[in-house]
């Protein structure tokens, strides 16, 4: 996970230590994990037949994206395992990511 200690931010995944003052932008992102083979075909057919606007079974990760002053981007993974979008675990993980985002923003303002 992510820990804040004075002006340092410790990130577990990927293993990094960054200076809080070097972080320019913080955001929560939820990229879809691409599946391969027949799973994609089955999902496409299910989606087409259900007349749904969005896939209900998209597999995602929840990331806390830190953009540094140098232009480098660090994507810290918040979830421990792959999540299905709109599941209870997904919503809990997004909530946790937003809380981390707020903690980092508050720490930057000190």
CB 78 within 8 A of CB 63: yes
Q: Phi first, then psi: what are they for 15, rounded to 5°?
A: -65, 110
Structure tokens at 2: 């992510």
Please report which confidence band the pLDDT of residue 19 belongs to, taking 50, 70 and 90 as the band edges. Answer: very high
More confident residue, 57 or 95: 95
pLDDT at 18: 94
How many Å apart are CA 79 and CA 44, to the nearest integer?
26
pLDDT at 44: 61
Tell whether the model's pLDDT for residue 17 goes beyond 90.
yes
Residue 62's Cβ-side half-sphere holds a number of Cα atoms within 13 Å equal to: 24
How many Å apart are CA 98 and CA 78, to the nearest integer?
10
Provide the domain count of the chain.
Answer: 1
More confident residue, 40 or 71: 71
92: containing domain? 23-109
Q: Residue 27 falls within a domain, yes or no?
A: yes
How many Å apart are CA 93 and CA 62, to the nearest integer?
7
Q: Residue 74 falls within a domain, yes or no?
A: yes
Q: What is the mean pLDDT of residues 66-81?
A: 94
Q: Give 75's strand partners.
A: 65
pLDDT at 38: 56
């Amino acid at each position: 996970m992510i820990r804040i200690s004075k002006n340092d931010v410790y990130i577990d995944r990927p293993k990094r230590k960054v200076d809080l003052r070097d972080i320019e932008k913080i955001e929560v992102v939820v990229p879809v994990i691409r599946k391969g083979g027949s799973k994609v075909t089955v999902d496409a057919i299910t989606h087409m037949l259900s007349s749904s606007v969005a896939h209900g079974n998209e597999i995602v990760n929840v990331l806390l994206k830190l953009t540094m002053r140098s232009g480098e981007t660090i994507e810290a993974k918040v979830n421990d395992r792959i999540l299905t979008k709109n599941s209870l675990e997904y919503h809990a993980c997004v909530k946790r990511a937003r809380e981390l985002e707020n903690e980092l923003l508050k720490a930057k303002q000190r």
